Chains A and B, each alone.
Chain A
Amino acid sequence: MPIDSDEVSLPRATVQKIISEVLDPEYTFSKEAREIITKSGIEFLMILSSMASEMADNDCKKTIAPEHVIKALTELEYNQFIPFLQQRLYEYKGTQKVKEKRDDKFKKSGLSEEELLRQQEELFRQSRSRLNNNVVMKKIVVIIIAWIHNKIHSYLFYIFAFFI
């Protein structure tokens, strides 16, 4: 079984977070202990994958499915994990349904992706020009107010101010 576990590792922060969630608050975990946890975790994942792959083969399936992972846990005598995996699968299927609904809505609008992109560009352009108009309006107002208050009669000043 060719494994090069030096190439990949688990995200350190995630491992640390899980340790903190589980660990009794009175205890601390040394750095070395955390590294052993990470290494052990990877090893477990590889053993689980290998067994799940075997379960898929037994089923004459080319793709490893969730049921194969669950069967693998039984084979490896980690049955106590199974209810939690089933719970996770249930949640995952729920979020997939939400995604599908969103995708369906997109398809139902009857517009192609290109057309939608064009519409989006148009909206951006409109809002940009609205923004520009606002800025010009504000400049005009500022200049008028300045004139009223200071009665600056230098026309050069106005021309300059307009282009700032």
Chain B
Amino acid sequence: MDPSPEQPHNATLAHVSSPDGGNEHMHQLVDEPLTQVFDRVKTHFPPAKIKKIMQTDEDIGKVSQATPVLAGKALECFIALLVQRSCAAAGEAGARRVSGEILRDTILHDEQFDFLRDTVCGGQARDVADDSSTV
């Protein structure tokens, strides 16, 4: 097994759809390859905790021992991704502080986070998403 993961970084950013010009501009600021960002994460979530959270869903049955370890890693990557994207958005807005509002904005305007829209803000989310897609 190849221990050193190589991934064409530009392809991952291209995946995100940009319905408006603003989105593209935001992503131009993310000039650091995502693989480098993910490599910075040294902290791990305890697998026992991850397993506990997974199993709050009654439909989730047995998990093998390595599964929470991998799910934890995916979570770490996800958080890294969200931090990186919102940080870029803050930079775009000329802010040095990533506020809750910037984070919410990032989630609402990025297709990759569409599953989070309801979590972040109830009914409003759908209206915002509709607005951005009509441009």
Contact = CB atoms under 8 A, between A and B. Distances in A.
B54 to A, nearest CB: 4
B33 to A, nearest CB: 10
Interface in B23-56: 34-35, 37-38, 40-46, 49-50, 52-54, 56
B100 interface: yes
A81 B73 CA distance: 8
Q: Size band of the A side of the interface?
A: 35 or more
A64 B60 contact: yes
Contacts, number: 212
Contact of A48 (B15, B61, B74, B119): B74
A90 interface: yes
A30 B74 contact: no
B71 A36 contact: no
B84 A22 contact: yes
Given A14-B43, A17-B43, A92-B66, A4 B56 contact: yes
B98 to A, nearest CB: 5
B90 to A, nearest CB: 6
Interface string A16-53: 01110111101111101101110111111111111011
Contacts of A36: 100, 103-104, 107, 120
Nearest to A17: B43
Chain B interface mostly = helix
Contact of A81 (B15, B53, B74): B74
B54 A45 contact: yes
Best-buried of B57, B84, B96 by chain A (most CB within 10 Å): B57
B67 A64 contact: yes
B39 to A, nearest CB: 8
Interface of A: 1-5, 7-8, 10-11, 14-15, 17-19, 21-24, 26-30, 32-33, 35-37, 39-50, 52-53, 56, 62-66, 68-70, 73, 77-81, 83-90, 92-93
Given A8-B56, A26-B96, 10 more contacts: A11-B46, A22-B79, A23-B83, A27-B98, A43-B115, A48-B71, A53-B60, A65-B67, A85-B74, A92-B66
21 contacts: A2-B57, A8-B52, A10-B75, A22-B87, A36-B107, A39-B120, A40-B79, A41-B78, A44-B75, A45-B50, A45-B54, A45-B75, A63-B63, A64-B61, A65-B66, A78-B78, A79-B12, A81-B38, A81-B74, A86-B2, A86-B5
